[in-house]
Chains A and B, each alone.
Chain A
Amino acid sequence: MSTSPVYANAYLDHWKQQIRSHGLAKAASELEWPETHAQLWQDIQQAEASLEKTGLSTVDQSLRRTDTSGFSGQQARLFTYPLDQSPAKRSVGEPVSTPSFPSSIPTRLHNLAAHVICHSSNDKWTILLRALTRVAAGERQWLQDPLDDDRRKLETMARNVHRSAHKMKAFMRFQPIDRASCLDDLPAHVAASVRTGAMDDEEQEPLWLAWFESTHPVAPLISRFLVERFKNMDWLILTQYEQLSWIDGQLRHGPPLRKPGCLGDDFDVYWKTYYASTFNPARLNMRMMQSEMPVRYWKNLPEAQLISQLQQTAGGRTGRMLAQTTELPGTLAARSRMVRETQLALRGASTSTGSRPASTDLGETDRPERT
């Protein structure tokens, strides 16, 4: 079994096209990701180099050169060799000397691969390559079998990536920034938009900035979601793997930048107030919380600063609530009785259907005084 960057490259290109055809009509046509592409290319080369050491690689050197030029030249196609229209029947595991990309990829594999390709581990190339080799050899049934080893490995990786993308949608937070004050931390194309904006007299809308540490490089997977939801905002998302921005209706994907120094949102105090108030101390369940919001996300979530205090005071708060009924002998009960009796009398006096409170203006004016 060999690993081949040719396969991986061809696959990348295929994947990109698929995203274009399924993706946003407008945004996709402007989708740019050369830097990440190059990054992936490096990953592939590294993966291959390590495999070469084990004596497993059989990649044709001339093909590899073609590929490298494909990446550096703007117009050059990524793979210049002909696609094999009728996949040769090959037995699995046989060394591949002239790799041929399958002429069509089953939807199930495509859907899995679109996620697997965003996995941060290099094992993905070995597994994807094996999957493609099997498909090219005419083997397709294994994709229907949930117990097939390769499908299970692909599914596990895809599931991890899917979860990672879901958590990014969930835990990534935007904060409004004044572009000028954050200029040093912004990529060139964002900084450029400040200058254009400054030319106009109109007040410039804020840039919404997010710093998020994702478990896999998943920004491309959620770009469509983000654009659809926050279409009329300008935003920039930075992660340790990549950057994704939507400025003046253009989606851009590029290499990572350092964590900006201009993070921090005064509005957090509202969110933290909400978080603390919506927590019910009588139901404390840290294990459940951590299984859904693992500790590794906490450092970028402002509300997470409150967790330990909420946890520590939960027992005492619950105890006080439980004791309250006995500590306030009679007062509450008496007040409740009074309200009930008044309402009952009002209902009785009403000539209407009787099932509905006849007078309902007790609320703000006749409300019993607070203790």
Chain B
Amino acid sequence: MEIIAKLAILSDAAKYDVSCSSSGADRKQAAKGKGIGSTGGTGICHSYTPDGRCISLLKILLTNFCVYECSYCINRSSSSVERARFSVEEVVRLTMDFYRRNYVEGLFLSSGIIQSADYTMEQLIAVARSLREDHGFNGYIHLKTIPEASADLIREAGTYADRLSINIELPSQAGLDRFAPEKNLIRTQAAMSDVSRIRSEIKAENKDRSRLAGTRRARQKVFVPAGQSTQMIVGADGSSDGDILSTTASLYSVQKLKRVFYSAYSPIPSASSDLPPVQPPLQRENRLYQADWLIRFYGFGAGELVTPAKPMLDLDIDPKLAWALANRDSFPVNLNTAPKRALLRVPGIGVRSVQRLLSARRFRKIRLQDLRSLRLQLDKVSPFIVCADHHPSKQLDAQDLRWQIAPAKQQLALF
């Protein structure tokens, strides 16, 4: 099969994995000799497809042959999609050709499971090893980790990859049993914990080595510098947002993941009849990302955003506004005196604006006009704040406050 035909099949097969980020790594410049590549900062999106998603990495499967039978997956064993398999050299060459042209930040390589978990993992590692050792490639490498693969292989993968990821796919074992019987939640989480344990051991080793050598320049071991990520599919099984977010919260706190991605279950060619043929729930996916941000950067707990009584996030308004409307006794917040954590909870004010308000109020009393200067949405912010020339008084108690703030959307939803 022509390489270009394989490329078409194996990038199509990989696109349902939404992660494309290339952030967090730190290989500052191309190696000497023939070396190429650098990573750092927040990564770069080199193009955008008409679905609005970023292309940062060459995201492909080594092969889409797979022995697993996961209902939601285009590559499951019973799927009638065309199959292909790249050789290690073909992936390496494509990556280098793409990278030299400045198409991508690097490679995101995953694979269907062929022969055995260890065999598949070895193939992925061979690609990464060849890029790093034969070609002096210092670009970004994200490898999919197979949780059933042996610990030694995962350790080796981590020495070449900037990021490792294992997809948790569904937040409960019940869901996995039904739709992905080969997958085991506990085993997946254990594999993640292993990686995060090795990372912290190596960090500690590096620190010791620097201390003994008396310099920060002492040779440092590298192990998954950009950490781990994972993905959960949204809307394939019956999991609630509450189920998803509580799994998320523990992935961040226990397994120390850098990112959890959410992927709206999307229609695929040759879809399984076990799953509903529906448009992808994109709005729900978006709300989950917003909630994820609130957990990571705004000091919210998963349990504040969804409760057993209301396990789904509101689709019409963002989760921060929903929380504020449900917790009006926490407002109004005085922009001129409130602590940072209180400012972070005001709807319509982001982390950066909070930082600016904190700096600015050392020099002046914050007024409504200042909020306009910071380009904040006044109708969303003002009911929840007090500033030098504004008090929401009874507006905060209005029964219809939600509709005052977000009327247009609601009307759209009616018609």
Contact = CB atoms under 8 A, between A and B. Distances in A.
Interface of A: 141, 144-148, 152, 166, 169-176, 208, 210, 225, 228-233, 265, 267, 269-271, 273-289, 292-293, 301, 303, 307, 310-311, 314, 318, 321-326, 332-333, 335-336, 338-340, 343-344, 355-357, 360-364, 367-368, 370-371
A285 B76 contact: no
Contacts, number: 244
Interface string B386-415: 000000000000000000000000000000
B50 interface: yes
B277 A325 contact: yes
A271 B30 contact: no
- Among A147, A287, A314, A318, which residue has the most Cβ atoms of chain B within 10 A? A147
Nearest to B15: A278
B48 A292 contact: yes
Given A230-B102, A278-B12, A283-B264, 4 more contacts: A146-B359, A281-B51, A283-B280, A332-B80
* Top 10 A-B pairs, shortest CB-CB distance: A288-B52, A285-B52, A228-B29, A283-B51, A146-B356, A279-B49, A321-B267, A335-B78, A336-B78, A277-B11
Interface of B: prevailing SS: loop
A208 B100 contact: yes
Contacts of B46: 170-171
Interface residues on B, range: 35 or more
Nearest to B82: A370
Interface of A: prevailing SS: helix
Contacts of B187: 355
Interface string B183-195: 0100100000000
30 contacts: A141-B363, A145-B362, A145-B363, A146-B374, A147-B360, A170-B46, A171-B46, A175-B101, A229-B29, A229-B37, A231-B35, A232-B35, A277-B15, A279-B49, A280-B53, A289-B48, A289-B49, A289-B50, A321-B269, A322-B277, A322-B278, A332-B80, A333-B272, A336-B272, A336-B274, A338-B78, A355-B187, A360-B67, A362-B67, A367-B65
Given A344-B181, A370-B80, A282 B115 contact: no
Interface string B17-41: 0000000000011100111111000
A189 B193 CA distance: 55
Nearest to A210: B102
Contacts of A265: 101
A362 B14 contact: no
Interface in B66-80: 66-69, 71, 76-80
Contacts of B184: 355
B318 interface: no
Interface stretch (B54-62, B308-316, B327-335): B54-62
A24 B76 CA distance: 50
Contacts of A343: 67, 69, 181-182
Interface string B97-136: 1101111000000001111110000000000000000000
